[in-house]
Amino acid sequence: MNKYFCSNRNKDYQNEVEKILLSRKQDILNFFNTEDKGQFNFNIFIYDTIGDLVDGMKNRGFDKMPDYMCACYKDEDNSLNFFEPKDNPNENEWGKEEYKNAVFHEEIHAIQSIIYGSQPEWLTEGVAKSLDGTYSRGIKYLLDEYVNKTHIPSMYELENEFGMYEYDSYDYAYLMVSYLIENLGKDNFLVAIKSKDTIKELSKDLVVKAVDYYNRKFESETIKGR
């Protein structure tokens, strides 16, 4: 069973989080072709506000938290960490409905971590983004509206400085994982990412390969459709 450590005032929100985790767990297990034999249980911390979440993480020894963090999984103490969004947020704040996806996203990280151990951030974020529905408008939209309007970052940046630049690192993580799954097949992809050496080999020039692959794919589809 999940173990809760709730400092937020509304204790009922724990039940909401638990419902989200339970209702979405099977989707994640299905993706990873695995079964729940009692190994996927977590320590869950819920704070009152996003500021309390950041402060709480620092107080627990996690002092390098990005400015955009609204939730996170930490394998050091097998913890999922959330805050409770307001019932009536303003346009710049998280609402509870959209925050459900953040809870699901972090659960993906947690389960992947238990199955595979520590992996590169571009890989874990790419997998989570391929499952959580962020890019529901499709890869062509992502390329046309964002990726093709800026420079392609280096793999060094994506491997060592993820999220530290003005471009959205998650866009490229999603593209790279989508490319690998599409070209390897999901089952072969899941086998490949068990090996750190294989991950290292696959990651060579991966961001350029992924962007070029999808641009050529959609250009070819456009030509055929004329």
Q: What is the pLDDT of residues 166-209, one digit of tens each?
A: 899 999 999 999 999 999 999 999 999 999 999 999 999 999 99
pLDDT tens, position by position, 71-80? 999 999 999 9
Which pLDDT score is estimated for 174? 98
Which pLDDT score is estimated for 11? 82
Spatial neighbors of 134 by CB under 8 A, at least 6 apart, are 101, 170, 174
Domains located in the chain, CATH noted? 3-116 (3.40.30.160), 121-224 (no CATH)
Closest CA to 3 of 41, 36, 56: 41
Spatial neighbors of 222 by CB under 8 A, at least 6 apart, are none
DSSP string of 144-165, one letter each residue: HHTGGGSPPPPHHHHHHSTT-S
User: 158 burial class (0-12, 13-18, 19+ CB within 10 angstroms)?
Assistant: buried
Residue type, 198: T
Q: Summarize the confidence of residues 120-133 as an average pLDDT.
A: 97
Residue type, 165: Y
What are the phi and psi torsion angles at 136 (to 5°)? -65, -20
- In the block, residue with structure tokens 């974020």: 125
- What helix, strand, coil percent values describe the chain, rounded to 5? 55, 10, 35
Which pLDDT score is estimated for 223? 67
What is the token pair recorded at 93? 């704040």
User: 65 burial class (0-12, 13-18, 19+ CB within 10 angstroms)?
Assistant: middle
pTM: predicted TM-score of the whole model, two decimal places: 0.94
226 pLDDT higher than 60:
no
pLDDT tens, position by position, 99-124? 999 999 999 999 999 999 999 999 99
